[in-house]
Structure 1
Amino acid sequence: MHLHVGCAMWSHKSWQGRFLPHPLPAHERLRHYASWCTAVEGNTTFYATPAKDTVTSWSAQTDPAFRFVVKLPKIITHERCLTDVDEPLRLFLDAIEPLGPRADALWIQLPAAFGPADVPLLAGFLRRLSSSYRYAVEVRHLAFFEDPRAARLLEETLTAAGAEWIPFDTTVFFQSPPASAAERDAWVKKPRVPARLVALTERPIVRYLGRDDAARTVDGWARWVDIVAAWLREGRSPTVFVHTPDNADAPELARRFHDEVRARVPALEPLPAPIPAAPLTLF
């Protein structure tokens, strides 16, 4: 029984001196983040395939039980739309090979224009993928959330491939107008889709977006605490990523989510104590 929790990144300016020591060399930030959280979203790989030496450093800074959910590069998912992608996919898989078991899932985030008519294209792509990894798909076309036939088609396609459907729950965020600069920026960038609360595999992945007001974020995730606790009792091992528009308190919030689930499922192991952000003193 495992619950991994994490954030959208492992380094953030507002975390310096609070969650991570400051100053801290870039090549040590992930190690300190990994003492707070047990998973991280690999968003940077969407923009470019990293150098293999860089990924080797990521592996060296984390325990084998740490989990990366690594996003496929946009050249594969957005620019070439899953077509004629053998070479960029080969380069990507070679680059992330040092992660080993830390690569919990390869994350296929599809553009909002990818709709039900494109599902056969996804099915063919999934069939060609290496069996060395598990895969998780995020869609943003409204039809998959509002049309039961479209949802069923996608579910059947993913189930046949043993792949998960990643929900990005933004419903709490969009309940009321933005109240900060970060919220105003997120208001025009984040997907506005209904919540999806169903798991397809034994290792579901959830992305949850709250508000910059921590109390509203915590209130809004109540249903996810119930759902994740139920998944654990069923023998599943979920991963939950906690976002806020400014992400200022995200590591602390991720740990709080884990604590709330553990209060429902006492058999769940507690998270380890984080590395202190400042040296310990006698006074």
Structure 2
Amino acid sequence: MAITKYHLGCTVWSLKDWIGTFYRDDAKQKEFLRQYASVFNSVEGNTTFYHLPDLETVRKWGKQTPEGFKFCFKFHRSITHQKRLHGVEEDVRNFIDLFEPIEDRLGPYHIQLPPQFSPDEIGKLENLLAMLPSAFSYAVEVRHPGFFDHGRQERHLNRLLKSYNIDRVVFDTRKLHAMKSDEKSIREAQKKKPKVPVRFETTGSRPFVRFVGANDPINNEPYLKEWAIIVADWIKEGLHPYVFTHAPDPARQPPIARRFHQLLAELIDIDPMPAWPVEKQDKQLGLF
């Protein structure tokens, strides 16, 4: 059975390190997305922050995923980081138009603002939100400390997002930055990932959570349990959350997602996560 009631996924699907642990032993790169989408029903579209696909590639993505699967494409960095939302009307229109062939596969567009984007620039964010086509959904990620002041500036941001039913991305890096480790992947992630406060307030109907912790699912247990409780409550309230599990070592993302889903299943009535492609392969081999 496919995952329902919420969307769950990882940051990528095209990862060769998953061959033999998540993907089948004989998986080819052209088969990765189809195998990924047989288990998860969403993915962060981080690649579009750096590079835009051509139209043929976009159409292939649509054909390789089932009904109900959602891509959460991140706005290109030229819009958010280089132009910082100034004079980007045409860029935004072109970006969204690119994915028109798979509009039924679109989850919230992910608008990640740079750490330097401060509350003083919120007028530019207001202008952006006003120009966005209402046919799609969006999630905004802020990183400037001014948006976490528990005061006027944060309330302004939340009211703005609520007025457009746009979700505020929660990037939970608490576990990552609490660790003391000599592991290379963890040290590098600690340098790259922001250390921002966690907010549990919702501003839209599709809460958007990005969790990054330890590589080992068990070391993330207290945080995953906390998120399972919160996500279960959101679902009971009629919201439709999106949850993405990161890991310092990307190869370790699927087990963290599976553990989260198991914890969530203990709280609400949801089907188990589908078997992984490599597990289906092992089962088939056992028949002979």
TM range (shorter): over 0.9
- Do the aligned residues in 1 keep the contact of 2:23 with 2:276 (CA within 8 Å)? no
**Match status 1:189 vs 2:192:** yes
1:201-280 aligned at under 5 Å gives the runs 201-266=204-269, 268-276=270-278, 278=281, 280=284
**1:212, 1:73 → 2: CA distance?**
28
Note the residue ranges of structure 2 that are not aligned, 5 or more in a row: none
Partner of 2:137: 134
* Secondary structure of the corresponding residue to residue 191 of structure 2: helix
Deviation of 1:23 after TM superposition, in Å, equals 4.1
Q: Pick one of 177, 183, 199 that aligns with 1:174.
A: 177
In the superposition, relative to structure 1, how do residues 214 and 270 fare at CA in structure 2: closer, same or farther (>3 Å)? closer
Query: How far apart in 2 are the matches of 1:22 and 1:111?
Result: 39
- State the Cα distance separating 1:177 from its structure 2 match: 2.1
User: Normalising to structure 1: TM-score of the pair?
Assistant: 0.94
Instruction: Look up the equivalent residue of 2:255 and give its one-letter code.
Output: E
What amino acid maps onto 1:87 in structure 2?
Answer: E
Paired with 2:9 and 2:123, the residues of 1 have a C-alpha distance of 32
- Letter of the 1:218 partner, please give it: E
1:164 maps to 167
* Corresponding residue to 1:9 among 12, 21, 26: 12
The residue type equivalent to 1:9 in the other structure is V
Q: What whole-Å deviation, never above 9, does each CA across 1:176-217 have from its counterpart, x for those lacking one?
A: 223311011111100001111121222111000111232112
Give the aligned partner of residue 27 of structure 2: 24
**Which is worse superposed, 1-10 or 112-121?**
1-10
Name the CA distance, whole Å, in 2 between partners of 1:110 and 1:134: 17
Query: CA–CA distance in 2 between the matches of 1:99 and 1:59?
Result: 6
- Which residue of structure 1 lines up, in the alignment, with residue 52 of structure 2? 49
**Residue identity opposite 1:67 in structure 2:** K
Aligned to 1:74: 77
In the alignment, what sits opposite 1:153?
A: 156
The alignment status of 1:118 with 2:121, answered yes or no, reads yes
Task: Name the CA shift for 1:252/1:22 in 2 (closer, same or farther; >3 Å).
Answer: same
- Letter of the 2:117 counterpart: F
**Partner residue of 2:112?**
109
Distance 1:218-1:36 versus aligned 2 partners, 3 A rule:
farther
Match for 2:67 among 30, 53, 64?
A: 64
Q: Please tell me whether the aligned partners of residues 165 and 205 of structure 2 are also in contact (alpha carbons under 8 angstroms).
A: no
Q: Deviations over 1:89-130 (max 9, x none)?
A: 222112111222221111100000011111111011110111
What is the letter of the counterpart of residue 148 of structure 1? G
Q: Identity of aligned pairs, percent?
A: 39
- For the residue of structure 1 that corresponds to 2:263, the secondary structure is helix
